[in-house]
Amino acid sequence: MKELKVDSSAVAGQENAKFIQDVRLRKISGSLNLASKTLQLMKDLVAKESWKTAEALLTLIRSQGRFLAEALPHDIVVANTTRRVMKIVREEYDSSRVVQFDDGQSIPSLHKLVTQGADPERDNYSKPMPGLKDALMDHLSEIETELETTGDSISAQAAEHIHSAELIMTIGYSRAVEKFLRKAAETRPIEVVVVECAPDCRGQQLAANLARAKIQTTLISDAAIFAIMSRINKIIIGTHSVLANGGLQAVCGTYSLALSAKHFSVPVIVLAPTYKLTPVHLCNYEQGDFNILGNTEAVLPAKSSAARFTKAYNPLFDYVPPELVTLFITNNGTNAPSYIYRLISELYHPEDNQL
């Protein structure tokens, strides 16, 4: 009897559909989990799909990445991970080509560096390259390890930025911020003020977790930010994504927080793993393009008399311009907002900015 062959593309399509459904049902949440799962899907594509050249592989990755990005437009880390994988494919192909055709000269000459842009073979990925799949799998495994250690790499820098007896303010709930503050509190006494971030009030969860860790914590409403800002030493926040100009797509209320901090000259420090850096620019302020509108039931109940003639909006994100941010802490170190463009150019290839 003949064995039935399983179509790998059909299996990949089922896995992608299941991933999208799990994200929409909130079975998978958190930027790190989304990035890890996307990377795993890309690893499966590289290992199981039939491809002969880097060009064919790039086409497969771009197609799958576009499908995921269109289905999950507001989960920007999915598109970022796809772009990162495509950059890795290009790098591994170029390095293999250099080893194969320039084995006798490991360090390129100055003439080659100058004339590299005119090399007709540089962006030609249509030639088969032996050993490319194995090299890619090793490199993707390294990226997977990097993702797993991202939180530890960021929290390890806590002692450099938080000093003894400082009063720290944050907003909403962020796993990276919680881990960062816990790490700082291990070696020095600190006090944290958490803005509850109404109407979801996810800051209450962070305040409770910090209090259980024996960190002196105060929970305040969003309206009290300006009143207490003069006493704050530093603001440490997380973000949903970091745009190409160094601006933030952060939880709603962060813009008011940053404006208050600027008025009182309080430094704003953003914890941003590299998988949250995106080459996307803010094209407009339309809610449908940049934002997600949440449920307004907590603000204006549908059964109330005011709901009959009132329109209520509950945007989930704020745009924070780069001039309101003091410093970014990534898993690779600290950078000013003006240096974000350089980090993005190292992570992604310009041709992959648009999937």
In this predicted structure, what is the pLDDT of residue 80? 93
pLDDT of residue 192: 95
Residue 7, pLDDT score: 57
- Quote the pLDDT of residue 2: 42
What is the 8-class DSSP label of residue 84? H
Do 247 and 293 lie in one domain? The reply is yes
Per-residue pLDDT of 311-337, as tens digits, reads: 888 888 889 999 999 999 999 999 999
Residue 227, pLDDT score: 93
- Predicted confidence band at 5 (pLDDT cuts at 50, 70, 90)? very low
Containing H/E element for 249?
Answer: strand 248-251
pLDDT, position 124: 74
Asked, for residue 113, whether it belongs to a domain, the answer is no
Q: Higher pLDDT residue, 300 or 171?
A: 171
- Asked if residue 182 has pLDDT above 60, the reply is yes
- Tell me the C-alpha distance between 28 and 211, whole Å: 27
Residue 116: per-residue pLDDT: 56
Residue 326 lies in a domain: yes
Whether 133 shows a pLDDT value over 80: the answer reads yes
For position 272, what pLDDT does the model report?
Answer: 93
Is the residue at 155 inside a domain?
no
Cα–Cα distance for residue pair 96/90, rounded to 1 Å: 10
Task: Count the domains in the chain.
Answer: 2
Instruction: Tell me: do 253 and 201 sit in the same domain.
Output: yes
Same domain for 137 and 181, yes or no, is: no
Which domain covers residue 83, as residue numbers?
A: 8-98+127-147
Sole residue written with tokens 């003439």? 111
For residue 167, tell me if it sits in a domain. Answer: yes
Q: Which residues on neighbouring strands pair with residue 318, listed in sequence order?
A: 250
With respect to residue 24, please indicate whether it lies within any of the assigned structural domains.
yes
Over residues 34-53, the mean pLDDT reads 90
| Residue 137 and residue 190 in one domain | no
Residue 107 forms part of a structural domain:
no
By the 8 A CB rule, do 155 and 183 touch? yes
Q: How far is CA 26 from the centre of its chain?
A: 18
197 and 138 co-located in one domain? no
State how far Cα 244 lies from the chain centre: 12
118 within a domain of the structure (yes/no): no
Q: Could you tell me if 169 and 48 lie in one domain?
A: no
What does pTM read for this prediction?
0.85
pLDDT at residue 250 tops 80: yes
Residue 118 has pLDDT above 90, yes or no: no
CATH code for the domain of 286: 3.40.50.10470
Here the CATH number for the domain that contains residue 67 is 1.20.120
Q: pLDDT category, 128, cuts 50, 70, 90? A: confident
Q: Which residue, 147, 177, 204, sits at the end of a domain? A: 147
Together in a domain, 86 and 143: yes
- Across the chain, what does the average pLDDT equal? 85
Q: Are residues 50 and 180 in the same domain?
A: no
- Residue 283 and residue 191 share a domain: yes
| Same-domain check for residues 27 and 59 | yes
Per-residue pLDDT reduced to its tens digit, 278-297? 998 876 655 456 777 888 88
- The first and second tokens of residue 230, run together, are 């003069």
pLDDT in tens, 145-175: 999 999 999 999 999 999 988 999 999 999 9
Contacts of 303 (CB under 8 A, 6+ apart): none
In a domain, 55, yes or no: yes
Q: What is the pLDDT of residue 285?
A: 58
User: Are residues 58 and 84 located together in one domain of the fold?
Assistant: yes
Question: Does one domain contain both 230 and 312?
Answer: yes
